[in-house]
Amino acid sequence: MAGKKKEKKVKDKRPFKEKFKSFLSKNKILLIIFSIILLLGGGVGLIVTGYLEYNRATREAYVVAGMKAMEDGNFHKAQSLLLKATYLKAPEAYPFLAWLSAKSGNFTKALDYCRETAKYPEIHGSYEVMGYLSLLGYGNAQGAGSALFFFDEAMKSYSEEYLKNHNPLLSMYEKSISLCMNKQDYIRMVDEAQKKGSTIALLYRGDLDFLGEENDLSPKSAAKSWEDAKNSGILEAQTRLASLLWYGYGKRRDYRTAMRYFEDAAKKHEPAANYSLGLIRLRQGKKTSYAEGMRYMKNAAKMNYGPALTAVGVNAIIKTKDFSKIASAAADIFKQAYDCGDTTGGILYALMMMNGMGVATDQTEALSILYDLKTSGVQSVGAMLKYFTYNTDVDSKRVFNQAIALISDQYMGKYCFAEGAPEAKMYHEQKESGALSYYVPQKDDRDRYTDEFIADLGKNYVEKLDKPEDIEINGEKLLYPEITQILDMYNPTTGAKAFMPQAVMEISASMPTLPSNYDKYNIDFETILNNFDEFY
């Protein structure tokens, strides 16, 4: 059976124009629908793009407005504007909110903003603050280990170009030392800062070794660290070395070199050197030495060195013929000394407050000061409170008068109850037979010096310590033996400080940076920093 012949398709020979018209005619409805869809899609796209651009510009505007408010010194307004920027999803505002909160002492809020920042992996501006907060005990990740991790993260916000001429990591390590709340973190941060080349960490490392804060007493290691710090320009290290030589801790006593170091540091306005040199001069007993001694004391007092402020106040009371005329000024200076960390000034101020001398009578506040000092480990206060508690015939004014007279005599070297630097009592404790000793008493070192040299030292040379039970003030025995301990800084000092957690009121972190798209706004970060210091 023969198959059908396949029909050939007839080629449309019409012109293209007629073909196109025919296509439009046949597909008119479909084309209209497709056109409407395209128009709607394009419109929606334009609307979305416009909205996103508007939102971005608005976010940016709030951030810039916040920065400009800080340039004008209006930080409350700045916080409000930056917070609005975060509502519009501007994560670059969070580091500045964290920075502002940390600088103003609102650490809980600073932590909240840091946590918000951490949700954006590309932003690292809050990690420095987080590191400091971890040392202060805020957040889940705490301690030196966490701080070091956060500081490494913070480094990601700096450009390679910036890091060629700056070392922000070293700055973070050094700032963190004063924020440590426990000795373990403190030692870790001191050591880490020292590894990074910190010169101030050398000073603190020396303090740790000298005072035996981490291991056994090691004055030789301390001397090495202090020598390196001194050679790097740390002035306090020179005072520490001067005192080390003055007493001979771990090395041969060398009065002459010690004096040269003290005098050089004092000329450069180092407070502890001025105070120590003041005591030395007061005790030499020469015609001009008293005036020199008081000049050094007043220099240290001008630098708000607490022990020197107390010394100036005591001297004023001793020299006056009418206490009532200077009582108010004396109370003020003892209060200032206490605020600067001097326990002796705090005790004298509390005694004045108990008796309404130069300050309104306030037994509650006075006792509060004394109990705070006792809590911080001031032994003389415990004995005083015990005296007040267990004696029926208590006269706090007599305690004050005896304390003032005795302290003045101690300044002048009339009485000496302990040899050596006040902070180095552990070097003078009775050692077991055969135990290593780093101190030679002055009397055992006598044969190294001529009679003329010893005479020149005056009361600075002590062969025999006084006993509290032998002391009389204006013909009266001491009310209780520990009154001799009220003067805390009774001898020249190294200035070495044992670790003690500090009350932290603010965190001075570096100011965060903004993304490069904000460069066109020419924000003056230096002015912001200056304004902040003035504002707070």
d(CA 202, CA 223): 10
With beta carbons less than 8 A apart as the criterion, state whether 241 and 207 touch.
no
* Percentage, residues of the chain above pLDDT 90: 74
d(CA 511, CA 201): 23
With beta carbons less than 8 A apart as the criterion, state whether 442 and 428 touch.
no
Cα→Cα distances 336→161, 275, 295, 341, 359, Å: 46, 16, 19, 9, 13
What is the helix, strand, coil percentage profile of the chain, to 5?
Answer: 65, 0, 35
d(CA 378, CA 334): 17
With beta carbons less than 8 A apart as the criterion, state whether 352 and 370 touch.
no
* Range from 36-50, 82-96, 332-346, 375-389 that averages highest in pLDDT: 332-346
Amino acid at 448: R
d(CA 477, CA 516): 76
Does residue 457 form part of some domain? no
d(CA 416, CA 484): 9
Does residue 167 form part of some domain? no
Does residue 413 form part of some domain? yes
Amino acid at 341: G
d(CA 126, CA 130): 6
* Other beta carbons within 10 Å of 163: 12
Mean pLDDT lowest for which of 5-19, 130-144, 201-215? 5-19
With beta carbons less than 8 A apart as the criterion, state whether 521 and 57 touch.
no
Does residue 256 form part of some domain? no
Number of domains in the chain: 1
Instruction: Pick 376 or 237 by higher pLDDT.
Output: 237
Does residue 316 form part of some domain? yes
pLDDT at residue number 487: 97
Q: What does the pLDDT look like over 251-293, one tens digit per residue? A: 899 999 999 999 999 999 999 999 999 999 999 988 899 999 9
Domain of residue 474 covers: 304-430+463-504
Does residue 524 form part of some domain? no
Does residue 488 form part of some domain? yes
Q: Roughly what angle, to the nearest 10 degrees, separates helices 396-412 and 271-282?
A: 90
d(CA 434, CA 76): 66
Three-state secondary-structure class, residue 143: coil
With beta carbons less than 8 A apart as the criterion, state whether 217 and 438 touch.
yes
What does pTM read for this prediction?
Answer: 0.85
Amino acid at 85: A
pLDDT at residue number 287: 84
Amino acid at 460: N
**Backbone torsion region of residue 41, taken as left when φ is above 0, otherwise alpha when ψ lies between -120 and 50, otherwise beta:** alpha
Does residue 133 form part of some domain? no
pLDDT at residue number 536: 60
Residue 36 predicted with pLDDT over 80: no
